[in-house]
Amino acid sequence: MSNSAVSLYLDPQIRDWVLFPITLVMILVGILRHYVVLLLQSPPKKLPREAIREQRAMARAQILRATSANSPIPPVYYQSISRHLSETFEAGTYLKDGPPRDGDAPKMPANPMTDPAAMDGMMSGMKTQMVMMVPQMVIMGWINFFFQGFVLIKLPFPLTLGFKSMLQRGVETQDMDVRWVSSLSWYFLNFFGLNGLYRLILGGDNSADSSRDMTATPFAAAPAGPQDYNKLFKAEKDNLEFSEGLYKWIGEGVEDRVLSRYHKI
């Protein structure tokens, strides 16, 4: 078995010219990736006024419902908004194409391949994936080419012999401790360890995070085709009525609560 009491002496220039540059390059490339993805994202398409109006009507109903059990709005206002929305949903005045005429065929849900809006979403997802993968491969090639054939650093923790072939790629010795590793393994350590740094500098939603690469796929984010707002409005109307049953103003009985807090009751 290898004698792990013997320590290798490494030239300090390896530290200056390999260790720090690899880390620095990876940090900078990560930041570059983030900004490139940001610049590559096409701005969202502007929707026509009717389409926005129907989405907003939906959003208003949902916001109203979300806090209905502890509502900050007094009963008069809550009920007037709720009834107005219910009536317009029923009559279909907010629909993009106007109130439904009798005998209209129901709209077909669009195929993601043919609908241009969904296609844009998929394309931007795939563009992001490509931008994320290319720098990683380039850096790995760069490291393999320039920084090969020497031992870079000693890991402070032990690993099994199975890792030897991966971590000591350019150094063909058999007895050296697995803890002495080559530059590629320093690349891997950086790859996993810098995500926290990116989260700190670039904010939580950054595109430099390598943990996102493994989980996201370009096809997962395809949005649903143009929804049938008529059906949605009907469902929302039922939800509104249900929430009206649950409604309770948060200021109900507030006079008694204030007085009892000051021990006047």
Partner 1 sequence: MATPAEVAAQQLIYPPNVMFTTQALTTVKFLAACFAGAAAGILGLQNWSGFALFLVSTLFSSLCIHTLNCRGRPAKYIPDGWTGLMNPGQENASTFILVWTLFYGIVHVYD
**Residue 176 binds partner 1 (CB under 8 A):** no
Instruction: Verify binding: residue 195, partner 1, rule CB under 8 A.
Output: yes
**Residue 25 or 122 having the CB closest to partner 1:** 25
Nearer to partner 1 (CB atom), residue 111 or residue 173 = 173
Phi, psi (deg, nearest 5) at residue 181? -125, 165
Distance in angstroms (rounded) separating the CA atoms of residues 229 and 243? 20
x/- map, 31-70, partner 1, by CB under 8 A: -----------------------------------xx-xx
Q: What are phi and psi of 48, to 5 degrees?
A: -70, 160
Q: Which of 19, 29, 166, 171 binds partner 1 (CB under 8 A)?
A: 19
In whole angstroms, the minimum distance from the beta carbon of 45 to partner 1 comes to: 28
Selected from 75, 99, 149, 196, the binder of partner 1 by CB under 8 A is 196
Minimum CB–partner distance for residue 62 and partner 1 (Å): 13
Residues 151 and 169: their CA atoms lie apart, in Å, by 10
Q: Which of residues 1, 3, 6, 12 is near partner 1 by CB under 8 A?
A: 12
* Tokens found for residue 91: 């009559």
For the CB of residue 87, give the shortest distance to partner 1 in the complex, in Å: 26
Are 198 and 206 within 8 A, CB to CB? yes
Q: Among candidates 36, 237, 19, 33, which has minimal Cα distance to 143?
A: 19
User: Can you give the length of the chain in residues?
Assistant: 265
Asked if residue 89 lies in contact with residue 234, where contact means CB atoms within 8 angstroms, the answer is yes
Helix orientation angle between 20-40 and 183-193, rounded to the nearest 10 degrees: 50
> What's the rounded Cα separation, in Å, for the pair 44 and 28?
28
75-91 and 229-246 helices cross at what angle (nearest 10)?
A: 160
Burial 3-13 (b: 16+ CB within 10 A, else e): eeeeeeeeeee
Segment interacting with partner 1 (CB under 8 A) among 76-84, 107-115, 187-195, 257-265: 187-195
- Using CB under 8 A, which of the segments 4-12, 88-96, 168-176, 225-233 binds partner 1? 4-12
Out of 199, 222, 234, 239, which residue is the one contacting partner 1 (CB under 8 A)? 199
Any contact of residue 14 with partner 1 (CB under 8 A)? yes
What minimum distance in Å lies between the beta carbon of 4 and partner 1? 10
Which CB atom, from 155 or from 232, has the smaller least distance to partner 1? 155
Residue from 51, 155, 166, 176 binding partner 1 (CB under 8 A) = 155
Q: Residue with structure tokens 């690349």?
A: 187
Minimum CB separation from partner 1 for residue 180, in Å?
A: 9
Instruction: Name the residue among 72, 92, 108 with its Cα closest to residue 237.
Output: 92
**Footprint of partner 1 on this chain (CB under 8 A)?**
7-10, 12, 14-15, 19, 23, 66-67, 69-70, 153-158, 186, 189-190, 192-197, 199-200, 204, 211, 246
